C-alpha cells in the first residue's frame, strides 16, 4: 500500500517535471510539438525516470536536479514506442489504450515526433539545470552511458534483431540477447544514471548495474507473459500481438508456470544485488517486486 | 586549386576518423551496422565535419581531438538524409547516385539505421577522446547546442514544417524559417562546435555563428537552384523533385538570376563576418565561396 503511494507520488513528480521541461504547442511548430506531447503524455507509468530517482535516493541523494535526466529517459522511451509502433515496424494501432502516434498524426510526423523526442532528450541530458547536481565529468559519463545503451549496441540494435527474428526459429540465447538490448539496456542505463548522480562508488555502481540488468530481464519476461495472458483492454495495446507476428518469447520456450518462476528469479536476483544498501533502497526493492506483480 | 587540395585532405581525414570510430559489421548486429555504414560511406562531401575543423583552425587550434565530434556531425547528417528519403517522407529512391537506404535494407531497417546513427552520434559527442581536447564544461555546452540545433526547434522541426508546406502557398518569411531550421541549424551548430573546441571568446563565437547562419542560407539557396538546374546524374539524386512535390523554393519566389544574387549576398555576408580573423580563417572563407560555386 505504502509503495503504491510512493509510486503515485514519484509519477506526479515526473509528470510535473515533464510539463515544465517539455515544449509547448505554439508557434509554427505547434503540430510537431503536439505529436510529441500526444505520446509523451499518454499515461505512461514513468518506470525509467522513477528508477533513476530511486537509485539516487538509495545513495542518500536529493533528486531535484536529476529531473531533467529523468525526463530525458521518458522522452527516449516514448520515442522508441512511437517508432516501434510504425507500420513498417510492429504496425500497432493501439498504445496505452489510445490510437498510436502515426494513426493520429500520420506516418511522417510520427517518425519526426520520435526523432524530435530523441534529440530533445539529449538537450535535457546536457541541460544546465542538471549541471547543478553533479560534476560535468559525471554528466558526460551519464550521457555516454545512455547514448550507448540506446544505440546500435543497445535498444535500436535490439529492435533490429527483434524484427529480423520474426517468424524465425531462434535459440533461447538469441532471445536473451534481443531482450537485453531492446528492453534491458535502457532500464539498466536509467538505474546507472541515478547511480552516477548519487555519486556511487565502484561497488555501488556495480551492484546497481546488476540490479538494473535483472529487473530489465524480469520486465521483459513479464511483458511476454502479459502479451499471452492479458486482454487488449487491460494492456492498452493489442494482446496476442507477439504470437500473431511469430515473435520468439519466453512462453514460447517454456510453459507459463516455468516462465513465472524465471521472472521471480530475476526479481530475487535484483533484490539480492541491493544487499549492500540500507533502507533508502527500499523503493528500488519494491520496484523490482512491482514489475513482477504487474502480471499477478 | 589549393583549396580543392585542402578539401580533399580534410575529407580524407574525416573518412579515416569515421572508419576508426564507426562500428564494424560483425556479430549478430551485422545487418544493422551494414545499413548504417551503407549510408555513412556513400560518398558524402563531409561539409559539416570540415566546417567544424576549419572553425577550430581559424582559432589556431589543433583538431585531432575534435574528430569524434566531426564524425558525430556526419552521423547526424546521414541519419537526417536516411529519414528524409523514407517513403513516408520525401520518398526518394536515389541519393548520392546510389539507391537509398530503405530501397536496399527495407523501410524498418532504414528507420532503425537513422535512429542508430543519431544515438551513436551522442556517444561520439560524449566520447572520452573528445575530452582530451576541451574542458567537460565546453563539451557539455557543445552537446547542448548540437542537440538543440537538430531537435524540435531545429532540423527535425524544419523537416516537419517542410512536409506541412508541400503544395501550400507559403510566404517567403515562412520559407526562410523552414530553411533556417531544416538546413541552417546543423550547419551553424557545426561551426559553433569548432568555435567552442577552439576556445572562441564571445566576439569570436558571435562572428563564427553569423558565418554559420549565412553559409547555411547560401547552402539552401544553392540546393534549390541545383534542383532546378542540375540533372539527376550531376546531383546523384532526383532532379526537379522540389517542383514535382510543389515545394516552395527560392526559384519559385524569384527568377534564377535574382536567386543567384541572393546566394552570392549570403556568401559575402559570411566572409564579412570573418573580418576579425587572420589568414587561419582562409579555409572557412574558401568554404563559403565553394558552397556558391557548387552550382556555377
**Superfamily classification of domain A2-293:** Farnesyl Diphosphate Synthase (1.10.600.10)
pLDDT single digits (tens) B257-283 = 999 999 999 999 999 999 999 999 999
Chain A: residue whose CA lies nearest to B86: A108
Q: What pLDDT score was predicted for residue A106?
A: 98
The mean pLDDT value for B187-201 works out to 98
- Looking at residue B65, the DSSP 8-state letter turns out to be G
Q: Do A112 and B160 count as a contact with CB atoms less than 8 A apart?
A: yes
- Average of per-residue pLDDT values in chain A: 93
Q: What is the widest separation between alpha-carbon atoms in chain B?
A: 54
Whether A99 contacts A92, CB under 8 Å:
no
Map out the domains of chain A as residue ranges: 2-293
Asked if B46 and B11 touch (Cβ cutoff 8 Å), the reply is yes
For chain A, say whether B226 makes contact (Cβ under 8 Å): no
Q: What's the sign of the alpha-carbon dihedral B253, B257, B263, B266?
A: negative
Q: Are B162 and B177 in contact (CB under 8 A)?
A: no
Q: Is the ipTM of this complex over 0.90?
A: yes
Q: Which residue of B has its CA nearest to A87?
A: B108
B24 touches chain A (CB under 8 A): no
Burial of A176 (0-12, 13-18, 19+ CB in 10 A): middle
Cβ within 8 Å of residue A87, ≥6 positions away: A102, A107
Of A65-74, B118-127, B128-137, the least confident: B128-137
Q: Which of residues 164-193 of B touch A (CB under 8 A)?
A: 164, 174, 177
Report pLDDT digits (tens) over B71-112. Answer: 999 999 999 999 999 999 999 999 988 999 999 999 999 999
Please check whether residue B88 is in contact with residue A107, taking contact to mean a CB–CB distance below 8 angstroms. Answer: yes
Taking 90 as the threshold, does the pLDDT of residue A133 lie above it? no
DSSP type of residue A181:
I
Residues B220, B184 contacting (CB under 8 angstroms): yes
**Residue A295 above 60 pLDDT?**
no
Give the model confidence (pLDDT) of A24-60 as tens digits.
998 999 999 999 999 999 989 999 999 999 999 999 9
Q: Are A32 and B120 within 8 A, CB to CB? A: no
Contact partners, residue B12, CB within 8 Å, separation at least 6? none
Distance of CA B228 to the CA centre of its chain: 21
Any idea which of A14-23, A89-98, B168-177, B233-242 has the lowest mean pLDDT? B233-242
- Within 199-218 of B, beta carbons closer than 8 Å to A belong to none
- Which phi and psi angles does A245 have, rounded to 5°? -95, 10
At which residue does the C-alpha cell 565553394 appear? Answer: B290
Reduce the DSSP state of residue A161 to 3 states and report it. helix
Give the model confidence (pLDDT) of A213-255 as tens digits: 999 999 999 988 988 877 666 666 676 777 666 777 888 889 8
Q: How far apart are CA A291 and CA A277, in angstroms?
A: 20
Q: Is residue A218 a contact partner of residue A291, using CB atoms and an 8 Å limit? A: yes
Nearest to B200 by CA among B77, B98, B52: B52
Is the Cα torsion angle B38, B40, B41, B45 positive or negative in sign?
A: positive
Q: A136 CB near a chain B CB, below 8 Å?
A: yes
- The confidence band for B232, taking pLDDT boundaries of 50, 70 and 90, is low
User: Does the pLDDT at position A18 exceed 80?
Assistant: yes
Give CA separation, A275 vs A61, A270, A285, A289, B157, in Å: 18, 10, 10, 15, 47
A98 membership: H or E segment, kind and range: strand A98-99
Is the CB of B33 inside 8 Å of chain A's CB atoms?
A: yes
Beta bridge partners of B95: B98
**Of the partner residues A107, A123, A161, the one whose CB lies closest to the CB of residue B151:** A123
Question: Which residues, 6+ apart, have CB-to-CB distance to A255 below 8 Å?
Answer: none
Termini Cα distance of chain B? 16
Distance in angstroms (rounded) separating the CA atoms of residues B280 and B198: 12
Spell A33-52 as b/e; 16+ CB within 10 A means b.
bbbbbbbbebebebbbbbbb
Helix (H, G, I), strand (E, B) or coil at A94: strand
Determine whether A202 is exposed, middle or buried from the number of CB atoms within 10 Å of its CB (0-12, 13-18, 19+): exposed
List CB contacts (< 8 A) between A147 and chain B.
Answer: 119-120, 122-123, 125-126
Give the helix/strand (H/E) hosting B167.
Answer: none
Residue A27 forms contact with B (CB below 8 Å): no
Separation of alpha carbons A185 and B278, rounded Å: 48
Give the other-Cβ count within 10 Å of B296's Cβ.
10
Residue A165 has pLDDT above 60, yes or no: yes
- Closest Cα to residue A223, out of A189, A191, A268, A262? A262
pLDDT digits (tens, 9 = 90+) for B37-76: 999 999 899 999 999 999 999 999 999 999 999 999 999 9
Residues 67-86 of A with CB under 8 A from B: 83, 86
CB-CB neighbors (< 8 A) of B84 in chain A: none
C-beta atoms of A28 and B161 within 8 A: yes
Chain A residues within an 8 Å CB radius of B83: 111-112, 115
pTM, 2 dp: 0.96
Q: Which range is most confident: A164-168, B165-169, B210-214?
A: B210-214
Cβ of residue B63 closer than 8 Å to a chain A Cβ: no
Q: CA-CA distance, B184 to B288, in Å (whole number)?
A: 13
What is the Cα–Cα distance from A128 to A132, expressed in whole angstroms?
7
Strand partners, B99: B94
Stretch B129-138: mean pLDDT, rounded? Answer: 90
**Span B227-252, average pLDDT:** 73
pLDDT band at B296 (very low <50, low <70, confident <90, very high): very low
**What one-character-per-residue DSSP string does B89-128 give?**
TT---EETTEE-HHHHH-HHHHHHHHHHHHHHHHHHHT-H
pLDDT value at residue A296 = 44
Reported as half-sphere exposure (CB side, CA atoms, 13 A), residue A89 has a value of 25
Q: What percent of chain A has pLDDT over 90?
A: 80
Instruction: Report chain B's mean pLDDT, rounded to a whole number.
Output: 93
- The pLDDT of residue B243 is 67
Assess B108–A contact: CB distance below 8 Å, yes or no: yes
Chain A's closest residue to B106, CA to CA, is: A88
Q: Cβ(A163)–Cβ(B31) under 8 Å?
A: no
Q: Average pLDDT in the B245-263 region?
A: 87
Q: Which chain B residue has the Cα nearest residue A88?
A: B108
Residues in chain B: 296
Amino acid at each position: 500500500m505504502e509503495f503504491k503511494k510512493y509510486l503515485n507520488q514519484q509519477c506526479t513528480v515526473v509528470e510535473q517535471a515533464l510539463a515544465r521541461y517539455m515544449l509547448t504547442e505554439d508557434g509554427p511548430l505547434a503540430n510537431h510539438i503536439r505529436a510529441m506531447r500526444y505520446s509523451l503524455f499518454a499515461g505512461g507509468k514513468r518506470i525509467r525516470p522513477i528508477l533513476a530517482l530511486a537509485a539516487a535516493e538509495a545513495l542518500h541523494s536529493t533528486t531535484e536536479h536529476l529531473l531533467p535526466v529523468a525526463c530525458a529517459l521518458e522522452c527516449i522511451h516514448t520515442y522508441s514506442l512511437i517508432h516501434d509502433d510504425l507500420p513498417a515496424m510492429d504496425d500497432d494501432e493501439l498504445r496505452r489504450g489510445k490510437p498510436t502516434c502515426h494513426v493520429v498524426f500520420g506516418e511522417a510526423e510520427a517518425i519526426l515526433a520520435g526523432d524530435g523526442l530523441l534529440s530533445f532528450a539529449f538537450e535535457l541530458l546536457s541541460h544546465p539545470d542538471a549541471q547543478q547536481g553533479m560534476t560535468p565529468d559525471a554528466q558526460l559519463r551519464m550521457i555516454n552511458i545512455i547514448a550507448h545503451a540506446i544505440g546500435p549496441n543497445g535498444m535500436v540494435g535490439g529492435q533490429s534483431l527483434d524484427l529480423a527474428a520474426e517468424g524465425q526459429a531462434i535459440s533461447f540465447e538469441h532471445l536473451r540477447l534481443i531482450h537485453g538490448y531492446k528492453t534491458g539496456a535502457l532500464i539498466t542505463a536509467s538505474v546507472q544514471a541515478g547511480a552516477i548522480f548519487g555519486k556511487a562508488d565502484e561497488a555501488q555502481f556495480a551492484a546497481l548495474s546488476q540490479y538494473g540488468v535483472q529487473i530489465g530481464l524480469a520486465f521483459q519476461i513479464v511483458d511476454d507473459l502479459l502479451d499471452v495472458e492479458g486482454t487488449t483492454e487491460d494492456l492498452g495495446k493489442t494482446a496476442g500481438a507477439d504470437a500473431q507476428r511469430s515473435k520468439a518469447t519466453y512462453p514460447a520456450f517454456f510453459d507459463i508456470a516455468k516462465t513465472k518462476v524465471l521472472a521471480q528469479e530475476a526479481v530475487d536476483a535484483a533484490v539480492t544485488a541491493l544487499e549492500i544498501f540500507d533502507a533508502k533502497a527500499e523503493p528500488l526493492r519494491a520496484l523490482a517486486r512491482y514489475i513482477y506483480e504487474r502480471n499477478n
